[in-house]
C-alpha cells in the first residue's frame, strides 16, 4: 500500500512516500528546479520519490494533500472583506493562482500520475502535528505546532496517542507569532520566509532592550502562551509589506535597506524579537504539556526551526523528552499528510521506532554515479578514485591543513539542513574558517554562524547538550572546558567586532554567546560520515567538523553531481568529493560567486491541455464565426469558421498534432490573459467587493475578529478527509 503526501503552492513544495507504513522517500521541489523555496506543484519531487522507492505512478493508492484549500480560501476572502477598499493589489495578485492551481489540486495530481487514486485533504496544522508525532519515538506525547498560518490556525496544541493525533486548541489568524517574527525579518532588511534564521543568527550580537516595547505595543502575551497582535502596527492584511509606518517608530528608525550596514540598533532589535519568541515557545510548550498530561513533547511548524528557542526549551528542565520534525516547515507537511493518510484514513497501526522513524532525514534520491564522468568531462575536470580508506584519509588531511571540502555522498537530506550528505566541511579549530567560508565559499553575510558536527559518543565533551541532536535543531552552550579565557579588551568588544575573538578550541563554530547549533552523528545512521570525523580526529585531536549546507547564497542545496560541480567551481572550495571520486580545484579557475543554473526543463504539455486548447478554442471561435455569419456573411466569418474547425477537429481526434500551435500561441495568450485578469479583478474589487465588504462590516462586524485565548479546534480534518473544506 503506497501513500503519496504533497505540499505545494505557498513555499517549500515537497513530496513524501509512505510504503506499507514506512517513510520510504521525501524531497523538495527546489532541489530539482534550483529555485529556492519553490512553491510550484512538485512534479520533479514526486517523480524522484517514486524512482527512489522503485515504484511507478500506477503504484500510488492514496494521495494526501497537506491542507484544506477551501478553508484557506475562506480566510483569504474574509481578509479581503475585512480590508477592502485596501488590499486591491494583493487580491489581484492572489486570485489567478487559486483558479490555476490551488483549487485544482486533484486534477493536477491525476494529470501527473496518469490515473486517479483516492485523494484526501489534511488540515494544515494536522499535517504538522502528524509530521511531528508519527515519526517520533513516543507512544504518547503532547503536540505543539507553531507557524505563520495554515488555513485559519497559527498555533495548535493537542495529543498524539498510538496511531492517532488530535488537535484540541488553536490560536487563529491574524494573530501569529510566525508572522510577527517575519515582520521583524523584513524590518531588519531580510527576505520573509527566507531570512528568519538570519535574525536568529544576528540576535546574539545585541541586547534585548526592545523586548518590553514589543510586549507593550505589538504583542499581548498571556501566561498560557496565547497572545494577540496589536494590528495597527502591521500591514500584512492588505499591504505589500508586513509592517506599517508606525512599526519603525517603536524601534528608532525606518526599515533597514537590505544593502545597508547593520548597526547596533538592528542587532538589539533582533535580540529583542528572539527573546520574545523564546518566551512564547516556552509558555506554549508548558501549556501543551499540561493539556496532554505528559512531559514528552513533539513540535513542528516553521517556528520550530528556531533552534535557539528549542535549545532553551530543552535545557529549561520543563520537558522530559523533546522531538522536533527536522523538516518542520511546509515541506514537512508532505510527510505529515502521508503519515496521516496511512494512520487516520487507512486506519493502520503504528509501532514507535527508536531513535525515530525519519531514517536520519536521509530520504532523498541517491547520488547517481553514472553521470559523474560526463559531468567532469563537460567541465574539463580531472578526478581520482583512490579507494575508500585512501579517500577518507585524503579528505581528513585536506581539512586538517585548512582546506574547505565539498562532500556529496549517498541519498540527499530532507529539510533545510545539510546533515553530512550534501555538505561543505572545514576545520572548526581554524580561527579564520568562519570568515573564509562566509566570504569566499558561501558569499554571504559575515555574521552568520556555522554548525559543528560531532561524533555522538563525544558530544558531551565538547557541548552542553542534554540529548542527542541528530538534526541540527538545538543551539546549546559549548562545554566550559573548551572555552577560552578572554582578555578584558576582548570582553569589552560590542556588535560585529565580537566576531574577531576566538572563544573556544573550536572558534569557527562557536557563536559570540559561546553557543553552537550542534549536530550529533551516530555511526549506525551515518557510518561513512562518522568514519571521516574519526580520521579527522586522529590528525587534530578534535572529533568535530564545521558543517554547512552545500549551496551558495540564494541557492538551494545541491542535488546532483552537475549541481555540485557548478557550485564547486563558482565557490572557493579547495576540493570536491562525489561519492568515491575526489576532485581538486583547478588552479586557473577563479570563483565567481554565482553557480549558473542549468536551462530549465519545460514541463510537458499534457494531452488534456491540448484537447482543451483545441476543443475549447474551436468552440469559442465557432461562436464568433456564427455571430459574424448571422450578419453579412462576409469572407472573414467563413475564415474564422475554418480556423475554428482547424482547432476543434484535431483537438477532439488527435490533440498531439496541435502541440506546435499551442507552444507558439500560449506565451502571448498568457500575457494577454494576465492583463485581462488584472483589469477584471481590479474592477471586481472596486465595484463589487468593496461595497459588499463595507455592508458586511457594518452589519456583522470585523470578519477577522476572534476571542482572546486558546480556542477549540472546530474541525481538525480527520472526519472529512475527502473534502477540500
- Compute the average pLDDT of residues 469-490: 94
What is the predicted pLDDT for the residue at 628? 74
What is the overall mean pLDDT for the chain? 92
**Section 564-593 average pLDDT:** 91
Between 294 and 438, the higher pLDDT residue = 294
Closest CA to 450 of 470, 465, 429: 429
Question: Which of 584, 619, 645 is the last residue before a domain boundary?
Answer: 584
CA dihedral of residues 624, 627, 630, 636 (deg, nearest 10): -30
In a domain, 716, yes or no: no
For the segment 626-652, what is each residue's pLDDT rounded down to a tens digit?
A: 887 776 667 777 888 888 888 888 888
pLDDT at 718 over 70: no
d(CA 148, CA 145) in angstroms, rounded, equals 10
What's the confidence (pLDDT) of residue 423? 97
Please enumerate in sequence order all residues whose Cβ is within 8 A of that of 586, keeping only pairs 6 or more positions apart, or say none: 380, 381
Domain stops at, among 531, 552, 584: 584
pLDDT greater than 80 at residue 223: yes
Q: Are residues 619 and 499 in the same domain?
A: no
CA–CA gap between residue 630 and residue 625 (Å, rounded)? 8
What's the pLDDT at 620?
Answer: 83
Q: What are the two backbone dihedrals, phi and then psi, of residue 571, each rounded to the nearest 5 degrees?
A: -105, -175
Q: Confidence band (pLDDT; 50, 70, 90) for 156?
A: very high
How much is the pLDDT for 220? 96
Q: Is-contact 423 395, C-beta < 8 A?
A: no
- Do the Cβ atoms of 522 and 468 come closer than 8 Å? yes
pLDDT in tens, 345-367: 999 999 999 999 999 999 999 99
Instruction: Give me the pLDDT at residue 595, please.
Output: 72
HEC string of 577-589 equals EECCEEEECCCCC
The residues, any chain, with a CB within 8 Å of residue 366's CB and separated by 6 or more, are 52, 410, 411, 412
Q: Residue 213, CB half-sphere, CA atoms under 13 Å: how many?
A: 17
Q: Is residue 501 located within the same domain as residue 569?
A: yes
**Same-domain pairing of 572 and 486:** yes
Q: Are residues 530 and 407 in the same domain?
A: yes
Angle at CA of residue 636, ends 633 and 638, nearest 5°: 65
Q: What is the pLDDT of residue 625?
A: 79
Could you identify the residue written with the cell 540598533?
265
pLDDT for residue 454: 98
Query: Does some domain include residue 128?
Result: no
- The answer to whether the CB of 144 falls within 8 A of the CB of 174 is no
Taking the CB of residue 107, how many other CB atoms lie within 10 A of it?
13
| pLDDT 10s digits, 235-282 | 999 888 899 989 999 999 999 999 899 999 999 999 999 999 999 999
Q: What local confidence, expressed as pLDDT, does residue 311 receive?
A: 95
Answer yes or no: do 531 and 452 share one domain. Answer: yes
569, 584, 599 — which closes off a domain? 584
Average pLDDT for residues 612-620, to the nearest whole number?
83
DSSP secondary structure letters along 427-480? -TT-TTHHHHIIIIII---TT---EEEEEGGGHHHHB--SS--TTS-EEEEBPG
Residue 318 lies in a domain: no
CA of residue 104 relative to chain centroid, distance: 22
- Among 44-48, 321-325, 381-385, 616-620, whose mean pLDDT is lowest? 616-620
Q: Residue 542 contacts by C-beta under 8 Å, 6 or more apart in sequence?
A: 427, 428, 429, 505, 506, 536
- Whether 387 is in a domain gets the answer yes
Q: Which of 704, 386, 336, 379 is nearest to 563 (CA)?
A: 379
Tell me, yes or no, whether 360 lies in a domain: no
Domain check: are 386 and 499 in the same one?
A: yes
pLDDT > 70 in the chain, percent: 98
Q: What's the rounded mean pLDDT across residues 436-462?
A: 92
DSSP state of 37: T
Residue 683 has pLDDT above 80, yes or no: yes
What does the buried/exposed string (b/e) look like for 560-576 if buried means 16 or more CB atoms within 10 Å of the residue's CB? bbbbbbbbbbbbbbbbb
**Does 492 or 327 have the greater pLDDT score?**
327
Q: What are phi and psi of 702, to 5 degrees?
A: -70, 120
* Host domain of residue 470: 372-584
Same domain, 546 and 442: yes
Residues 494-504: what's their mean pLDDT? 87
Please, which pLDDT band fits residue 488 given cuts at 50, 70 and 90? confident
> What does the block give as the cell for 561?
553531481
Contacts of residue 684, Cβ cutoff 8 Å, sequence gap at least 6: none
Q: Is there a domain that residue 496 lies in?
A: yes
pLDDT, residue 664, reads 82
Note whether 642 and 518 are same-domain residues.
no
Does residue 596 have a pLDDT over 80? no
227's grid cell: 497572545
User: Nearest Cα to 5, choosing from 45, 53, 58, 54?
Assistant: 45
Q: What is the CATH number of the domain that holds 421?
A: 3.90.870.20
pLDDT of residue 717: 54
- Average of per-residue pLDDT across 406-424: 96
- The secondary element (H helix, E strand) that includes residue 398 is helix 388-400
Compute the average pLDDT of residues 294-315: 96
Output the pTM of the full model. Answer: 0.91
Structural contact between residues 91 and 680, judged by C-beta atoms closer than 8 angstroms: no
Residue with the three cell numbers 505589538 = 218
- Tell me which of 700 and 610 has the higher pLDDT: 700
Segment 56-73 shows an average pLDDT of: 96
Q: Residue 416 has what pLDDT?
A: 94
**pLDDT exceeding 90 applies to what percent of the chain?**
77
Q: What is the pLDDT of residue 539?
A: 97
Is 525 part of any domain?
yes
Give me the number of domains the chain comprises.
2
The band of 49, judged by pLDDT with boundaries at 50, 70 and 90, is very high
**Dist. CA 90–CA 67, nearest whole Å:** 21
Residues 539-569 have pLDDT tens digits of 999 999 999 999 998 899 999 999 999 999 9
Do 496 and 571 lie in one domain? The reply is yes
Residues contacting residue 318 through CB under 8 Å, at least 6 positions apart: 282, 285, 286, 289, 295
What is the C-alpha separation between 590 and 612, in angstroms, rounded? 51
Residues 686 and 562 occupy one common structural domain: no
**Do 635 and 537 fall into the same domain?**
no
683 part of a folded domain: yes
Residues 395 and 441 placed together within one structural domain of the fold: yes
Predicted pLDDT at 591: 80
Q: Tell me: pLDDT of 457 over 60.
A: yes
Amino acid at each position: 500500500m503506497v501513500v503519496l503526501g504533497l505540499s505545494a503552492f505557498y513555499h517549500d513544495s515537497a513530496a513524501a512516500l509512505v510504503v506499507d507504513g514506512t517513510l520510504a522517500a521525501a524531497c523538495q521541489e527546489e532541489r530539482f528546479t534550483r529555485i529556492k523555496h519553490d512553491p510550484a506543484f512538485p512534479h520533479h519531487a514526486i517523480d524522484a520519490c517514486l524512482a527512489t522507492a522503485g515504484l511507478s505512478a500506477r503504484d500510488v493508492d492514496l494521495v494526501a494533500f497537506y491542507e484544506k484549500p477551501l478553508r484557506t480560501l475562506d480566510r483569504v476572502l474574509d481578509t479581503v472583506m475585512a480590508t477592502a477598499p485596501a488590499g486591491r493589489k494583493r487580491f489581484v495578485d492572489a486570485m489567478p493562482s487559486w483558479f490555476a492551481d490551488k483549487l485544482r489540486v486533484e486534477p493536477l495530481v491525476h494529470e501527473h500520475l496518469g490515473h486517479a487514486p483516492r485523494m484526501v485533504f489534511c488540515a494544515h496544522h494536522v499535517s504538522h502535528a502528524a509530521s511531528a508525532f508519527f515519526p517520533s519515538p513516543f507512544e504518547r506525547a503532547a503536540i505543539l505546532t507553531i507557524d505563520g498560518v495554515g488555513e485559519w490556525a497559527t498555533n495548535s496544541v493537542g495529543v498524539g496517542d498510538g496511531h492517532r493525533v488530535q488537535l484540541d486548541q488553536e490560536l487563529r489568524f491574524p494573530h501569529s507569532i510566525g508572522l510577527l517574527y517575519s515582520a521583524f525579518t523584513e524590518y531588519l532588511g531580510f527576505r520573509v520566509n527566507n531570512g528568519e534564521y538570519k535574525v536568529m543568527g544576528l540576535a546574539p550580537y545585541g541586547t534585548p532592550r526592545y523586548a518590553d516595547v514589543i510586549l507593550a505595543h505589538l504583542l499581548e502575551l498571556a501566561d498560557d502562551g496565547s497572545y494577540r497582535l496589536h494590528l495597527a502596527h502591521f500591514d500584512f492584511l492588505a499591504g505589500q509589506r508586513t509592517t506599517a509606518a508606525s512599526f519603525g517608530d517603536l524601534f528608532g528608525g525606518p526599515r533597514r535597506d537590505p544593502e545597508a550596514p547593520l548597526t547596533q540598533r538592528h542587532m538589539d532589535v533582533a535580540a529583542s524579537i528572539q527573546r520574545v519568541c523564546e518566551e512564547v515557545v516556552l509558555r506554549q510548550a508548558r501549556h501543551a504539556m499540561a493539556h496532554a498530561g505528559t512531559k514528552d513533547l513533539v513540535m513542528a511548524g516553521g517556528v520550530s526551526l528556531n533552534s535557539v528557542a528549542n535549545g532553551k526549551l530543552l535545557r529549561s528542565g520543563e520537558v522530559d523528552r523533546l522531538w522536533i520534525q527536522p523538516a518542520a516547515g511546509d515541506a514537512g507537511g508532505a510527510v505529515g499528510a502521508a503519515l496521516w493518510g496511512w494512520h487516520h484514513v487507512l486506519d493502520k497501526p503504528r509501532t514507535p521506532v527508536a531513535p525515530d522513524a525519519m531514517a536520519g532525514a536521509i530520504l532523498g534520491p541517491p547520488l547517481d554515479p553514472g553521470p559523474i564522468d560526463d559531468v567532469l568531462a563537460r567541465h574539463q575536470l580531472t578526478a581520482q578514485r583512490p579507494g575508500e580508506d585512501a579517500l577518507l584519509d585524503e579528505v581528513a588531511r585536506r581539512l586538517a591543513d585548512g582546506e574547505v571540502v565539498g562532500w556529496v555522498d549517498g541519498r540527499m537530506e530532507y529539510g533545510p539542513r545539510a546533515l553530512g550528505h550534501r555538505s561543505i566541511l572545514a576545520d572548526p579549530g581554524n580561527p579564520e574558517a568562519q570568515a573564509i567560508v562566509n566570504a569566499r565559499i558561501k558569499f554571504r553575510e559575515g555574521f552568520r554562524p556555522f554548525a559543528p558536527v560531532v561524533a555522538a559518543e563525544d558530544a558531551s565533551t565538547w557541548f552542553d547538550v542534554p540529548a542527542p541532536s541528530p538534526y541540527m535543531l538545538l543551539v546549546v552552550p559549548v562545554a566550559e572546558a573548551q572555552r577560552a579565557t578572554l582578555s578584558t579588551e576582548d570582553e569589552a568588544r560590542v556588535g560585529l567586532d565580537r566576531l574577531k575573538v576566538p572563544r573556544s578550541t573550536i572558534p569557527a563554530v562557536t557563536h559570540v554567546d559561546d553557543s553552537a547549533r550542534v549536530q550529533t552523528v551516530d555511526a549506525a545512521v551515518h557510518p561513512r560520515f562518522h568514519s571521516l570525523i574519526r580520521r579527522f580526529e586522529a590528525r587534530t585531536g578534535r572529533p568535530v567538523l564545521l558543517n554547512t549546507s552545500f549551496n551558495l547564497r540564494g541557492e538551494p542545496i545541491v542535488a546532483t553531481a552537475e549541481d555540485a560541480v557548478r557550485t564547486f567551481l563558482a565557490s572557493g572550495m579547495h576540493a570536491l568529493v562525489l561519492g568515491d571520486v575526489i576532485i581538486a580545484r583547478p588552479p586557473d579557475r577563479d570563483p565567481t560567486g554565482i553557480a549558473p543554473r542549468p536551462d530549465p526543463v519545460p514541463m510537458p504539455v499534457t494531452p488534456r491541455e491540448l484537447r482543451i486548447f483545441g476543443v475549447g478554442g474551436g468552440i469559442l471561435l465557432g461562436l464568433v464565426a456564427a455571430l459574424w455569419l448571422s450578419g453579412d456573411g462576409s469572407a472573414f466569418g467563413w475564415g474564422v469558421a475554418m480556423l475554428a474547425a482547424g482547432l476543434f477537429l484535431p483537438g477532439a481526434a488527435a490533440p498531439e498534432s496541435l502541440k506546435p500551435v499551442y507552444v507558439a500561441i500560449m506565451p502571448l495568450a498568457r500575457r494577454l490573459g494576465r492583463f485581462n485578469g488584472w483589469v477584471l479583478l481590479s474592477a471586481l474589487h472596486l465595484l463589487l467587493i468593496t461595497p459588499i465588504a463595507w455592508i458586511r462590516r457594518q452589519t456583522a462586524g470585523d470578519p477577522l475578529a476572534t476571542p482572546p485565548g486558546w480556542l477549540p479546534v472546530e474541525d481538525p480534518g480527520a472526519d472529512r478527509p475527502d473534502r477540500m473544506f
